[in-house]
């Protein structure tokens, strides 16, 4: 028996524990759409209403919705071999082929791949490998992981502790030990009170200061997103990561690039760190790896790291780490097909073209409440301000959320980021110009409306 829309909504309220909601609001009937269908960059909900997805679900619908090719690949693989793990040296063909393909498209030297089910697991794996690397080299005191103050790396305990956003971490104490943070490269609102380029990229120098403060002999790795996602689409200046790489090399510290959001064409290249011309020691990947068609993630390991891990004797020679679905053959087959589509349709190049068009259209709107537009490709952040001339923060920290709600009412899904005045735009890389025009039209009207018609204070 097919249930009605209202029955499905009632079951949702009664049984589904949703991420990132006020649970009491949802139980009372928070009116959020239940999606039933997607095609390209357009979604349709259970009531028949259509939306342009301007956030790519969770920054991940890179090739868009409704790709029958991926469904067919999954069907064929399920019929042939539905599951077999990579534990104890076993293998399956799709996982092997995917690892080889990732080694082909990754920055040079990142030729070894450990598979996970998603981004949090990929970051957990990168952190564990970084610590194991130093154990294998006879420096077991190197435990500290240094991250950035506005970074987001996931919700599992290690990834959450590496995350710098307190709103993500709070209420889950105690955190994992030996994690530290330095200021982000947030040029629009420099946490060091400096101005680029006269600052000399002082924020990168904070890494050296922290390493020396902790003692180089105690520091395992530095982890960073090439572009912050949840933390505000913060995009470092050109000199930042070359300086970070130099500092890491000087003190024997590994550099982990969290590419969970930035990878697979989102910023215009296979991996976001390529924009800065440096090669990390480890890469955490997920999301765009399968464009969300099936859960899969990966940690890419540089040859120099693998060489230490692969020594036949000593502590840690047995690599005691793994997830049930590491290298799931169906997910791996789908990811391979996803990468083929990204390459053949040149969707990274399209991301650059459409990102440039989206940025130009936003600027032409001349919205008096938009202070900064930043990012690369189709990973953009729009910072809302009370006064663009001064960058003054809005008096109401919820303006972004109000704008998000108004956009949704008008058929466009955007996302407000912490601290509430930044709007993320990351549509599928197949988004059309007409859809971009509509996104800008709706967002421009919504932002103007929420600033000029602020909601009445709650009683």
Whether residues 170 and 267 fall in one domain: yes
Whole-number pLDDT of residue 100: 98
The answer to whether the beta carbons of residues 58 and 287 sit under 8 Å apart is yes
Residue 456 has pLDDT above 80, yes or no: no
Q: How confident is the model at residue 355 (pLDDT cuts 50, 70, 90)?
A: very high
Q: Are 305 and 131 in contact (CB under 8 A)?
A: no
Identify whether 84 is part of a domain: yes
* Two structure tokens written together for 421: 């005045």
Cβ neighbourhood burial of 52 (10 Å; 0-12, 13-18, 19+) = buried
pLDDT over 90 (residue 26): no
Single residue among 285, 310, 344 that ends a domain in this structure: 344
330, 220: one domain: yes
Give the per-residue pLDDT at 457. Answer: 63
The predicted model gives 430-450 an average pLDDT of: 98
* CA–CA gap between residue 148 and residue 162 (Å, rounded): 8
Burial code (b: 16+ CB inside 10 Å, e: under 16) for 162-185 equals bbbbeebeeeeeeeeebbbbbbbb
**pLDDT at residue 28, as a whole number:** 83
φ and ψ of 262, to 5 deg:
-75, -15
Its domain, for residue 266, covers 69-344
CB 428 within 8 A of CB 61: yes
Kindly state whether residue 305 falls inside one of the protein's structural domains: yes
Does the structure show a pLDDT above 80 at 380?
yes
In a domain, 54, yes or no: yes
Residues 289 and 340 in one domain: yes
| Together in a domain, 305 and 364 | no
Q: Is residue 13 part of a domain?
A: no
The band of 267, judged by pLDDT with boundaries at 50, 70 and 90, is very high
With a cut of 70, say whether residue 68 has pLDDT above it: yes
Cα 208 to Cα 216: distance, rounded to the nearest angstrom: 9
Task: Please indicate, yes or no, whether residues 151 and 105 belong to a single structural domain of this protein.
Answer: yes
Residue 258 and residue 299 in one domain? yes
Can you give the CATH number for the domain in which 301 is found?
3.40.640.10
Is the Cα torsion angle 77, 79, 84, 90 positive or negative in sign? negative
Contacts of 134 (CB under 8 A, 6+ apart): 140, 141, 142, 143, 220
**66 contacts 43 by C-beta, under 8 angstroms:** no
Mutual orientation of helices 399-409 and 433-452 as an angle, nearest 10°? Answer: 130
* Unique residue bearing structure tokens 């011309």: 277
Q: Count structural domains, the chain.
A: 2
pLDDT (average), residues 199-225: 98
On whether both 291 and 142 belong to a single domain, the answer is: yes
pLDDT recorded at residue 110: 98
Task: Please say if the pLDDT value at position 9 is more than 80.
Answer: yes
pLDDT, residue 288, reads 98
Find the CATH number of the domain harbouring 353: 3.90.1150.10
The answer to whether residues 154 and 193 belong to one domain is: yes
Q: Is residue 76 part of a domain?
A: yes
Query: Rounded CA gap, 426 and 205, in Å?
Result: 31
281 — alpha (psi -120 to 50), left (phi > 0) or beta? alpha
pLDDT tens digits for range 214-233: 999 999 999 999 999 999 99
458 pLDDT more than 60? no
Mean pLDDT of the chain: 96
Q: Which strands, in side-by-side order, build the sheet including 219-224?
A: 110-116, 297-302, 282-285, 254-258, 219-224, 144-148, 179-182
User: How many angstroms from the chain centroid is the CA of residue 274?
Assistant: 16
Residue 21 confidence class, pLDDT cut points 50, 70, 90: confident
Among 344, 378, 404, the domain-final residue is: 344
Question: Worst-scoring range by mean pLDDT, 21-35, 116-130, 308-322?
Answer: 21-35
Res. 336: pLDDT tops 90: yes
Contacts of 381 (CB under 8 A, 6+ apart): 232, 233, 234, 235, 372, 373, 374, 375, 417, 422, 423, 424, 425
| Residue 85 in this model has a pLDDT that exceeds 60 | yes
Same domain, 75 and 94: yes
Nearest CA among 160, 145, 225 for reference residue 186: 225
Strand ranges in 92-250 using DSSP code E only, listed in sequence order: 110-116, 144-148, 179-182, 219-224
Residue ending a domain, choose from 327, 344, 361: 344
Return d(Cα 352, Cα 376) in angstroms, integer: 7
- Answer yes or no: is 14 within a domain: no
Weakest-pLDDT range from 76-80, 125-129, 144-148, 387-391: 387-391
Give the Cα separation of 16 and 158 in Å (integer).
Answer: 26
CA-CA distance, 27 to 18, in Å (whole number)?
10
In the predicted model, what is the mean pLDDT of residues 138-149? 98
Same domain, 354 and 443: yes
pLDDT tens digits, one per residue of 94-140? 999 999 999 999 999 999 999 999 999 999 999 999 999 999 999 99
DSSP string, 98-142: HHHHHHHHSSTTEEEEEEESSHHHHHHHHHHHHHHHHHHTT-TT-
* 80 shares its domain with 38: no
Tell me whether residue 285 is in a domain.
Answer: yes
- Considering the domain architecture, whether residues 292 and 189 belong to the same structural domain is answered as yes
Residue 1 pLDDT: 76
Q: Report the interhelical angle of 329-344 vs 93-105 (nearest 10°).
A: 40
- Assess if residue 431 is contained within a domain: yes
pLDDT the model gives residue 247: 98
Cα 455 from Cα 325, distance rounded (Å): 47
Alpha-carbon distance of 293 to 46, in angstroms, equals 20
pLDDT per residue as tens digits for the range 156-167: 999 999 999 998
């Amino acid at each position: 028996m097919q249930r009605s829309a209202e029955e499905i909504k009632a079951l949702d309220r009664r049984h589904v524990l949703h991420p990132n909601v006020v649970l009491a609001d949802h139980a009372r009937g928070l009116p959020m759409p239940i999606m039933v269908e997607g095609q390209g960059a357009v979604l349709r909900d259970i009531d028949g209403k259509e939306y342009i997805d301007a956030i790519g679900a969770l920054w991940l619908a890179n090739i868009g919705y409704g790709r029958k090719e991926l469904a067919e690949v999954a069907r064929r693989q399920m019929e042939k071999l539905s599951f077999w793990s990579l534990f104890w040296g076993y293998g399956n063909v799709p996982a092997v082929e995917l690892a080889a393909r990732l080694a082909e498209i990754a920055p040079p030297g990142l030729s070894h791949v450990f598979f996970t089910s998603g981004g949090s697991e990929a970051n957990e794996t990168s952190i564990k490998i970084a610590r194991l690397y130093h154990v294998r080299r006879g420096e077991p005191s190197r435990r500290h992981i240094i991250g950035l103050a506005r970074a987001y790396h996931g919700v599992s305990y290690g990834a959450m502790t590496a995350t710098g956003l307190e709103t993500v971490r709070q209420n889950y104490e105690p955190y994992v030990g030996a994690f530290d943070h330095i200021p982000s490269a947030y040029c629009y609102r420099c946490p060091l009170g400096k101005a680029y380029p006269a600052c000399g990229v002082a924020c990168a120098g904070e890494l050296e200061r922290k390493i020396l403060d902790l003692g180089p002999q105690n520091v395992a790795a530095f982890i960073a997103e090439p572009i912050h996602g949840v933390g505000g689409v913060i995009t470092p200046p050109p000199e930042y990561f070359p300086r970070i790489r130099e500092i890491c090399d000087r003190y024997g510290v590994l550099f982990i690039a969290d590419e969970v959001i930035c990878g697979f064409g989102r910023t215009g290249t296979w991996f976001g760190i390529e924009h800065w011309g440096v090669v990390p020691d480890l890469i955490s990947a997920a999301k765009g790896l399968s464009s969300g068609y099936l859960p899969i993630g990966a940690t890419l390991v540089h040859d120099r790291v693998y060489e230490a891990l692969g020594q036949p004797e000593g502590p840690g020679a047995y690599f005691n780490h793994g997830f049930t679905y590491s290298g799931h053959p169906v997910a791996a087959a789908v990811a391979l097909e996803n990468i083929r589509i990204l390459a053949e349709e040149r969707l990274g190049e399209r991301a650059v073209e459409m990102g440039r068009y989206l940025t130009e259209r936003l600027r032409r709107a001349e919205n008096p409440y938009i202070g900064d537009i930043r990012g690369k490709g189709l990973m953009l952040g729009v910072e809302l301000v009370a006064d663009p001339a001064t960058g003054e923060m809005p008096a109401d920290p919820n303006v972004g959320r109000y704008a998000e709600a108004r956009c949704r009412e008008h058929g466009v899904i955007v996302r407000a980021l912490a601290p509430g005045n930044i709007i993320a735009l990351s549509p599928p890389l197949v988004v059309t110009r007409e859809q971009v025009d509509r996104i800008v039209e709706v967002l421009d009207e919504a932002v103007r409306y929420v600033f000029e018609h602020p909601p009445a204070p709650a009683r």
